[in-house]
Amino acid sequence: MKKILLIASPLGGVFFTAPAFGEDTIVVTAERRAQAVDDVALSITVLGEDDLTRISADHIAEALARAPGVSLHRGSGAEHLTAIRSPVLTGGAGAGSVLFLENGVALRSPGFANVNGLFDAHYVIASAIEIVRGPSGALYGANAIHGVINVLTPEPGEDFSVTAEAFGDTEDRYKLKGTISGGTGEQRFFAGMSAVSEAGYREDAGLDQQKLTLRHIVDGDNVSIDTIFSFDNLEQETAGFIFGQATLLDRTARRTNNFPDAYRDAKSLRLQSTIEARIGEGTVLKLTPYVRWNQMEFQQHFLPSKAIENNSHWSVGAQSAVYHEAGRLSLIAGIDAEYTEGSLSEFQARPRIFSFTQGLHYDYKVRALNASGFVQAEYQVAPATYVTAAARIDGTIYDYDNLTDSGIVGRFLRLDDQTDRFVTASPKFSVRHEFSDSVNAYISYARGARPPQTTDLYRLQINQTGDQARPEQIDAVELGLRASIGERVNIDLAGFWMEKRNFFFRDADGFNVANGETRHVGVEADLHIVLHESLMLESALTYAAHTYRFDRPTGNASESIAKGDDVDTAPRVIANTRLRWSPTERAWLEAEWVSLGSYFTDAANDHAYEGHDLLHLRGEAAVTDRLSAFLTLRNVTNTLYAERADFAFGNERFFPGEERTFGVGLRYRQ
C-alpha cells in the first residue's frame, strides 16, 4: 500500500502536495503530530493545493463538497451552515458543533463560535484544507462534536517565488489573489492576499472581502519559531429566504430580495507563534501562544424587529504539547488554556411590532476561562497491531455581566449577573491492524463534548425559562478500511454510529429543548481510480440516516417531533464525483457531478426538498511557461435549485442557487 506521508508543521497542521498520477501523495498531520494517513484510526480528507487551485472556489462550500460526509448550505454572500456527519445545524448547535481552525488554532473562542465561522479563514490561498469527520475532542477539545475543519497557510519555501491570479465571471464576480515567498539562511517568509467583489446573484446582495496572511519561520539547530498573522474584512449586503416553490422556479422572481437593507460587516485579526524545541532523545516540545480579535455587526432581517446586533470578543491563549517516542510506545501530552472577553448588544430602532419592543434588547459582557489537559498513548501490541488511548478534560467558566436592567422587556429576558461552570471529558480508544502493505483497518470509540454557547445561556426570551442548556455529548463508534488495489485504485471506507445527548435547540413553539437526543448512522466511501495515465476518476459518497431519538409534541402539530423521524435538513445521500483528463503536463479538463439527495424541511417530516444534481466543468491550459488561462462553467445544465431549503411559519423557504455561470481567469507563477 502506498504510504501517504504526513510532514508535521510546528502548528500541528497539514500541508499537501497533489501528485502526478501513480505517484505518492504527500500530506501532513493528524492528531497534532506528523503521521501517515494509514497510521490514523479516524476519517480524514485532505484537499491539497492542486485541488484547491483547480476548484478556484467562490465559496468554501465548493471545496468541502469533495469530502464524504460533508455538506455546507450556502446562505447569502459568505454565509453558510455546516454539516459533518450531521444534519445542517443552526443556532448554537450550528456554531459550536464543528470546530473551525486555521493552522491548528480555533478561529473563534469556545462558547463564542459563529455559525458562519469559516468566512474568517483564508482558504483562497491555502496550501490545504483538512477535514476530520466524527468527534475529535480528545486532542482538539471543545466544539469538535461532529468534526474539525482546519485551513492551512502555505509554508514558505527557500527559493523566491511569486504567484498572482485574476478572475471574473458572468455574475459580476471579480477575484484577485497573490503570494510571495522566499528565504535566506535560517529565515523564510510568506505573504498572501486576496480580494473579492461581487455584485450578487440576487438584488441588493453584493459582497466585498479582503484578506491578508503573513508567515515567518526561523529554523535553528534545535529550535524553530513559526509566526502567522491573519486579517479579514467582510462587508456584504444580505439577501434572505425567498418563499414558495413557484418563486424558486421563476428565473426572475428567484433573484429578488425582500430584505434590501440587510447587511453583515465583520472583521478579525489573529496572531500565533509556534516554538518547537527538541529537549531530549525522542522528545519534542511545542508551545503556541496566540491572540485573536473579531467584531461583527449585522441586521437581524430574519426577525420582525430588524434589530441590529453587535458582537465581539478577544482572546489570549496558548497550546502546548510534548511528544515522546520510546520504542513501541508513543506519547503525547499537553495543556491548553485561553482567556476571552466578549460582548453582545441588540437594538431595535423601528417601532414596536408584536412583542418585539423598540429600544435596547440586550447588552452584556462575558468573561470566559477555558483550561484543558490531554494525553494520548499509542502502543504496538503486535508487529501489525496498534492500540491507542486518549483522554481530555476541559474546564470552562463563564462570568456573565448584564450591562442593562434585568428582567423582562417585551419578549426579551435579561438575566441577573451570574457565573456558570462546566467540566467535560472526551475519551477515545482505537485498535488498528495492518493486514498487508495494501490493506489496513481500524475500529474506534470516541466521545465529543462541549459546553453551551454563551448566546444559548444569556440571550434568552420569555418562553425560554425552562431547562438551561447543558454540555452536549456525543458517543461514536467507527469502523474503517483503507485499501489499494494495484497501483491504480485507492479506497477509503468508513461506517459510523453516533448517539448525541443534551442537544439544545428551540422547538417550533419557541421553547428551549435542553435534552434532545439524535442518532447518526452511515457509511462513507472515498475512491481514487487511475483509469489511464492521463485520466483520473474520484468520488466521495455518503449514505447516512440522522434521526430523532425522543418525542417532543408542540402546539404546532406540523412541527412535533416523533422518535425515529428524520432530523430536518438531513439528506441521506450525498455524492461528489470528478473525472479529470490531463492530456499534457500543461493542460487539464475536469467534470464534476454534485448530487444532493432529498431531505425533510420540517421536524414532523411533512414537507421536503427533492434534492438536486449539478454539473460543473473546469479547465486550464498553459499560455507560456509562467502564465496559464483557466475556465469555469458552473451549473452547466442551468438547473434551478436551492442551496438551502426550509419550512417554517407555514411557508416553504429557499436560498436559491446560482444559474449557469461562466468564468475566466489568468494565473501567473514564478
Helix (H, G, I), strand (E, B) or coil at 321: strand
pLDDT for position 465: 62
pLDDT for position 664: 98
Tens-digit pLDDT profile for residues 368-408: 999 999 999 999 999 999 999 999 999 999 999 999 999 99
Give the C-alpha separation, 34 to 14, whole Å: 9
Q: Does residue 18 surpass a pLDDT of 80? A: no
pLDDT for position 22: 35
Give the C-alpha separation, 560 to 483, whole Å: 44
Considering Cα of 116, then 121, then 123, then 125, what sign does the dihedral take? positive
Q: Does residue 278 surpass a pLDDT of 60? A: yes
What average pLDDT score do residues 526-548 get? 96
Tens-digit pLDDT profile for residues 283-307: 999 999 999 999 999 999 989 999 9
Q: Does residue 496 surpass a pLDDT of 50? A: yes
What average pLDDT score do residues 581-603 get? 96
pLDDT for position 467: 65
Query: How many separate domains does the chain show?
Result: 1
pLDDT grade for 457, boundaries at 50, 70 and 90: very high
pTM: 0.94
Give the C-alpha separation, 589 to 566, whole Å: 39
Running DSSP on this structure, what letter comes out for residue 469?
A: P
From the list 167, 158, 154, 162, the residue with the least C-alpha distance to 178 is 162
pLDDT grade for 1, boundaries at 50, 70 and 90: very low
pLDDT grade for 649, boundaries at 50, 70 and 90: confident
pLDDT grade for 23, boundaries at 50, 70 and 90: very low
pLDDT for position 3: 39
Which domain does 534 fall in, by range? 5-669
What average pLDDT score do residues 562-573 get? 95
Residues forming a β-bridge with 546 = 520
What average pLDDT score do residues 325-352 get? 96
What average pLDDT score do residues 528-556 get? 93
Q: Does residue 485 surpass a pLDDT of 70? A: yes
Q: Does residue 21 surpass a pLDDT of 50? A: no
- Nearest 5°: phi and psi at 614? -125, 150
Give the C-alpha separation, 293 to 232, whole Å: 11
Pairing label, strands 98-102, 147-152: parallel
Determine if residue 300 is left, alpha or beta; phi over 0 gives left, psi from -120 to 50 gives alpha, anything else beta. Answer: beta
CB-hemisphere CA count at 13 Å for 132?
35
The residue with greater pLDDT, 464 or 54, is: 54
From the list 448, 452, 473, the residue with the least C-alpha distance to 464 is 452
Determine if residue 327 is left, alpha or beta; phi over 0 gives left, psi from -120 to 50 gives alpha, anything else beta. Answer: left
What average pLDDT score do residues 342-356 get? 96
Tens-digit pLDDT profile for residues 101-142: 999 999 999 899 888 989 999 999 999 999 999 998 788 888
From the list 33, 264, 6, 228, the residue with the least C-alpha distance to 122 is 228
pLDDT for position 440: 94
What average pLDDT score do residues 204-233 get? 96
**155 with 466: CB under 8 angstroms?**
no
List all residues 6 or more positions away from 649 whose beta carbon is below 8 Å from its beta carbon.
Answer: none
pLDDT over 70, % of the chain: 94
Q: Does residue 8 surpass a pLDDT of 50? A: no
pLDDT for position 20: 34
The residue with greater pLDDT, 429 or 649, is: 429
What average pLDDT score do residues 341-366 get? 97
What average pLDDT score do residues 3-18 get? 34
For position 143, which CATH number holds?
A: 2.40.170.20
Counting DSSP H helices and E strands in the chain, the numbers are 6, 40
pLDDT for position 248: 97
